[in-house]
Amino acid sequence: MLMVKNGKIITMTDTDYENGYIIVSDGKIVEVGEGDNYLNNEQYAMNKNCTIIDAKGNYVLPGYIDAHCHIGMWEDSIGFEGADGNEATDPVTPHLRAIDGVYPYDRYFTEARENGVTTVVTGPGSANVIGGQFAALKTYGKRVEDMIVKEPVAVKVAFGENPKSVYGKDKKAPSTRMATAAILRENLIKAQEYKKLKEESEKDKSAKEKFKYDMKMEALVKVLNGEIPIKAHAHRADDILTAIRIAKEFNIKITIEHCTEGHLIKDILAEEGVAVINGPFLSDRSKPELKNLSPKTPGILSKAGVKVAIMTDHPVTPIGLLWLCAAVAAREGMDEKEALKAITINAAEIAGISHRVGSLEKGKDADIVIFNGHPFDIRTKVLYTIINGEVVYFDKAVDNIR
């Protein structure tokens, strides 16, 4: 068991606690409360040989969640040997799985924990029209299997400049936006036909003889069935709208990733009810699609009624600066609580993992971070990071555990 007491607890629900406590058992939160209620629980906890952390009035929040990054896919301080995020040999690779490319000993997992990031949604880059499957992982574990929260979370699809530049230079498709859209449609239609034949093969012997297993189509059938969304890399307004258009054509779920020009079509995004994972905006405008890059975008979208999460797109912005991305968004007009939601509960809900992470509530994973000041203050440090009820990082300058 574990108890955190005397904390200013921001739960990311409708209820916060000025002087609260959290009780953890078997890696799950079993109680969150206010004030002196913890005293009886503390006596019980001591009898159970519980670890007790005195937060001493410091801020206590759910672990941060980066809803779009590539941590472990491009390893720190390594070139080609550590670059496993883009299989740029085929524009259609939905069968590729992030869990087969992640290096769990990448130093950035340590830096994530040191900066309060406890869950990451990581996966392939945007070289291909259909890049592969993202996974939600905890930032602590000796092997990927120990870290999985949900896998797959989504299938990555890329619009715009990236697939054009990768394949167009070799005079291969796609070299235009039209071809990118056509390739995506073509493969979704193939998946529809594959799904139909598979269903028929389970009922009819003659159909069974015609059916041939296809790993690529199996991945896309999950999208067609609504089990997972497409994670649509789209910076420009026209690419965002194309992504939405195709999602509506096939009645599939979609999240818009990056959404750099989302502020230009904020009303449309709100009307369509599309969730956005915005960023990275702590970076340079390194390509034409980023000419309208602005840290004001998440605030503009949020105020328009769009559900927004904030990403680092690590390694574009280092994973440990996720908090700074949210702080800058708040400085640039986003409501402060909404900015915190963008790296906690909103990120969890958009990624489809809010039943486990994103807030401090009974029954959820005990992913807890204690800060020695307001989480958006540049001087604030992480004192403790707790994942699944285990202290995985603590500032050695403090000793509040007994």
Name 217's Cβ contacts closer than 8 Å, sequence gap at least 6: 190, 191, 194, 195
Q: What pLDDT shows up at residue 155?
A: 98
Pairing of strands 28-34, 17-25: antiparallel
Phi, psi of 8 (to 5 degrees): -85, 95
* Residue entry with tokens 């993202």: 134
The per-residue pLDDT for 9 is 98
Residues of the chain below pLDDT 50: none
The CA-to-CA distance between both ends of the chain, in Å, stands at: 12
Distance CA 179, CA 184 (A): 8
The C-alpha atoms of residue 397 and residue 12 are separated, in whole angstroms, by 28
Question: What's this model's pTM, rounded to 2 decimal places?
Answer: 0.96
The one-letter amino acid code at 282 reads L
Residue tagged 């269903």 (tokens): 199
Residue with tokens 């070799």: 170
Give every CB contact of residue 160 below 8 A, 6+ residues apart in sequence.
177, 180, 233, 234, 235, 236, 239, 289
Closest CA to 345 of 355, 358, 332: 358
279: left (phi over 0), alpha (psi -120 to 50) or beta: left
> What pLDDT was estimated at residue 208?
79
Question: Contact at 8 Å (CB) between 119 and 65?
Answer: yes
Homologous superfamily of domain range 2-62+362-394:
Urease, subunit C, domain 1 (2.30.40.10)
How many angstroms from the chain centroid is the CA of residue 142? Answer: 20
Residue owning tokens 């530049």 = 165
Q: Per-domain residue ranges for the chain?
A: 2-62+362-394, 64-351
> What's the distance, CA 395 to chain centroid?
26
CATH topology of domain 64-351: TIM Barrel (3.20.20)
Mark out the alpha helices in 234-389 (DSSP H runs).
237-249, 266-272, 297-303, 322-331, 336-341, 345-351
* Residues 27 and 387 sit within 8 Å (Cβ to Cβ): no
What is the per-residue DSSP string for 252-291? --EEEEE-TTGGGGHHHHHHHT-EEEE---SS---SGGGT
Question: For residues 152 and 160, what is the distance between their CA atoms, to the nearest angstrom?
Answer: 24
pLDDT value of position 45: 60
3-state secondary structure of 375: coil
C-alpha separations of 144 from 1, 72, 80, 371 in Å: 25, 10, 21, 28
